[in-house]
A and B are shown apart, each in its own frame.
Chain A
Amino acid sequence: METTVIPKSSAVFKTLVRADMATLFSNRRSVVISLLVPLIILVSWKPLVKVMGGPFALSTAIGIGLMSIGLMGYTLSVARDRDKGIFQRLRVAPVPTWAIMSSRLFIQLVMIMILTLLVFIVGYQYDKITLSTEGYLLTFAVAVIGGAVYLSLGQLIVGLIKTAETINAVTRLTYFLFIMVGMFGEMGTLGPQVKEGVHWSPYGSVKLMLAASMEPAKWNHDTTITVWVCLGYIIVFAGIGIKNFKWNSK
Chain B
Amino acid sequence: MAVDQDKYILKVDGLGVTYGDFVAVKDVGFNVLQGEIFGLLGPNGAGKTSTLSAIEGLLKFKQGTIIVDGQDVQQKPLYAKASMGVQLQSTSFQPELNVVQILQLFSGIYGVPKSKDEIKDILKEIKLEDAGQKKFGQLSGGQQQRVSLVIATIHNPKLVLLDEPTTGLDPQSRRQLWERIEAIKAKGHAVLLTTHSMEEAEAVCDRIAIIDHGKVIAIDTPEALVDKHRDDPEVVAVSRRGKITLEDVFIGLTGTAVRD
Chain A interface residues (CB < 8 Å from chain B):
1-2, 4-8, 11-12, 14-16, 18-19, 22-23, 26-27, 81, 84-86, 88-96, 247-248
Contact = CB atoms under 8 A, between A and B. Distances in A.
A94 B96 contact: no
B105 A91 contact: no
A2 to B, nearest CB: 5
A163 to B, nearest CB: 16
Contact of A15 (B91, B113, B187): B113
Nearest to B83: A4
Contacts of B88: 85, 88-89, 92
A214 to B, nearest CB: 36
For A7, A27, A92, A247, the residue with the greatest tally of chain B CB atoms inside 10 Å of its CB is A92
Interface string B90-118: 11111111000100111011110100000
B36 interface: no
Interface of B: 56-58, 69, 78-79, 81-84, 86, 88, 90-97, 101, 104-106, 108-111, 113, 156-158, 187-189
Q: Is the interface of B mostly helix, strand, loop or mixed?
A: loop
B96 A12 contact: no
A85 B110 CA distance: 19
B109 A90 contact: yes
A42 B138 CA distance: 40
A4 to B, nearest CB: 5
B56 A81 contact: no
Nearest to B35: A1
A90 B157 CA distance: 16
Nearest to B105: A19
Contacts of B86: 89, 92-93
A124 B187 CA distance: 64
